[in-house]
Amino acid sequence: MNRIDKKFRELKKESRQALIIYITAGYPSLSKTKELIFEIEKSGADIIELGIPFSDPLADGPTIQLASQRALKNHVALKDVISLVRAIRKKTEIPLVFMTYFNPVFRFGVDRFVREASVAGVDGVIVPDLPPDEADSLIKASRKSGFANIFLLTPTSAEKRIKIVSKASSGFIYYVSLTGVTGARARLPQEIKNKIKGIKKFTDKPVCVGFGVSGPGQASQMSEISDGVIVGSAVINIMHKNLGKKDLVKKVGKFIRSLSRAV
C-alpha cells in the first residue's frame, strides 16, 4: 500500500486531519531542503510536497515563483530532487509528493519519471497543468507502480469535472480553495464547506484544501471541513524572511508546530 494511503488510514483511525506542507526543492539549497524535510516531519507534518523548480509555474504566486527561480539558479533539476529523495529515504518514511509541471516530466520521459521517482521513494505527483483527460500515459505508468496521481478541483469545477477528477485521483484530491494562484490570504472563501460537501457526494477519497492557507487559524477552520490542509506559501515566506540566518530551519519548524496544533 502507498505511504499516502497508509497515512490517511492512520489519521482516520485517530480522527485527525492531515497537515501537508509544501517546500520548493533546492531552495535555498538541496542540503537545506534535506534538513527542512526532517524538521518538518519532526514538527508534526503528515505529508510533504516537494516542488520541482520550473521556469514557468503558472499555478504559483510570487512567493513560490521566487523560491523556484532561486532554486533554478542553483541548477536544481528533476533528477537532483529524485536523488535527494533516494538519500533521505534511509532515514524517513514520511509520505512525499512531487509537485511539478508537465514539461519537466515530458522531457524526462513519463515512464522513466514514474519508475525512477517511485523507486527512489516518492509516493505520488501533482501536475497542475495536466488534467486527467490528458493524463492517460501518466496514469497508466503510475498504476503499475502504485504511484499516486493527485488531481485538482476548484471552486468553478462543475459536477462532470468533479466526477472525472474523483475517478482519476489516487492518494487524495487537491481542492484549490480559490480562483487564482498560490499565496497566503487574509481570508478564504466562505463557500468552501459546501464545495467540499459537493465533492464528497461522488467520492470517499480524502479531499485536502490548499492555496491561501496562511496560518494556524485558517488551518484549524479548513481541518474542520476537509481531510487535510495544505500550506505552502506561508512556509516559503518564513524562509524568505530568514534567508541566510542560522535558525531558518528552526523558524520553519516552529511555524509547522503551530499549524500541527491547530489541525
47 has which bridge partners?
Answer: 20
134 is a catalytic site residue: no
Distance CA 83, CA 230 (A): 24
Distance CA 244, CA 160 (A): 48
Choice among 5, 60, 116, 123 that is catalytic: 60
User: CB-based burial of residue 236 (10 Å sphere; 0-12 exposed, 13-18 middle, 19+ buried)?
Assistant: buried
60 is a catalytic site residue: yes
CA torsion through residues 31, 37, 38, 43, sign: positive
DSSP per-residue string spanning 116-167: HHHHHT--EEE-TT--GGG-HHHHHHHHHHT-EEE-EE-TT--HHHHHHHHH
Distance CA 81, CA 45 (A): 20
Choice among 46, 49, 116, 227 that is catalytic: 49
Catalytic residues: 49, 60
